[in-house]
């Protein structure tokens, strides 16, 4: 069962992601007081909570989070099955590893949503239950740019822009997996050439092949 090695890749992502979130919750104060510069001012560790989807987008309460988490559970089940089907079709190993990275990242954030309201008691105030209402722990802070765009720029000139995503290992794993698939999609999804050059609609060729197989030559 060699396809299990791709699930082990996903498991490795999950373990690293969950250990990093535990360490941040255990040892870092939340917000600015606990911020740790890593590479100057542009990359830092910053403990924050994400109550919903990417970029803090949320579905309407009180049951929007339960619907979101349920959808995520269906999605990771489908991705796990997709890995097995790709392996059966002898898909490129690079593609399978990328899908495994996406699977591991998706499961990592699902664990937060299902259990962190209980484990870390971080469900939002007013949540109907701490189960399925845990908030995702983010800590990787990339401070790209914050300020006003030049007024000479058409349409967006003079507007204020904040580009400082805060994410986690699971998010990074999903991003890397998707990015590599997009970069190498021509290699990953190239259709194989037919293995038999004989045309299927050539009766003479088909009969000759049949006679050869019957006589034990082929």
> Which residues have a catalytic role annotated?
138, 171
User: What crossing angle do the helices spanning 4-27 and 169-183 adopt, rounded to 10°?
Assistant: 140
Question: Which residues neighbour 15 within 8 Å (Cβ) at sequence distance 6 or greater?
Answer: none
> Residue 114 in contact with residue 69, Cβ under 8 Å?
yes
- Rounded CA-CA distance 134/151 in Å is 42
């Amino acid at each position: 069962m060699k396809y299990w090695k791709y699930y082990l890749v996903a498991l490795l992502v999950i373990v690293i992601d969950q250990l990093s979130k535990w360490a941040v919750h255990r040892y870092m104060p939340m917000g600015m007081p606990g911020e740790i510069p890593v590479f100057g001012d542009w990359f830092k560790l910053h403990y924050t909570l994400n109550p919903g989807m990417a970029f803090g987008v949320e579905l309407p309460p009180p049951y929007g989070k339960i619907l979101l988490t349920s959808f995520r559970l269906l999605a990771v089940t489908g991705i796990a099955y997709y890995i097995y089907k790709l392996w059966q079709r002898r898909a490129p190993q690079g593609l399978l590893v990328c899908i495994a990275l996406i699977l591991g990242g998706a499961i990592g954030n699902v664990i937060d949503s299902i259990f962190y309201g209980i484990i870390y008691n971080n469900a939002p105030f007013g949540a109907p239950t701490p189960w399925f209402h845990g908030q995702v722990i983010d800590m990787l802070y990339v401070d790209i740019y914050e300020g006003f765009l030049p007024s000479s720029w058409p349409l967006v000139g003079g507007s204020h822009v904040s580009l400082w995503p805060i994410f986690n290992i699971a998010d990074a794993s999903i991003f890397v997996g998707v990015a590599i698939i997009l970069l190498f999609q021509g290699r990953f999804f190239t259709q194989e050439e037919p293995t038999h050059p004989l045309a299927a609609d050539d009766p003479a060729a088909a009969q000759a092949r049949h006679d050869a197989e019957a006589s034990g030559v082929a």
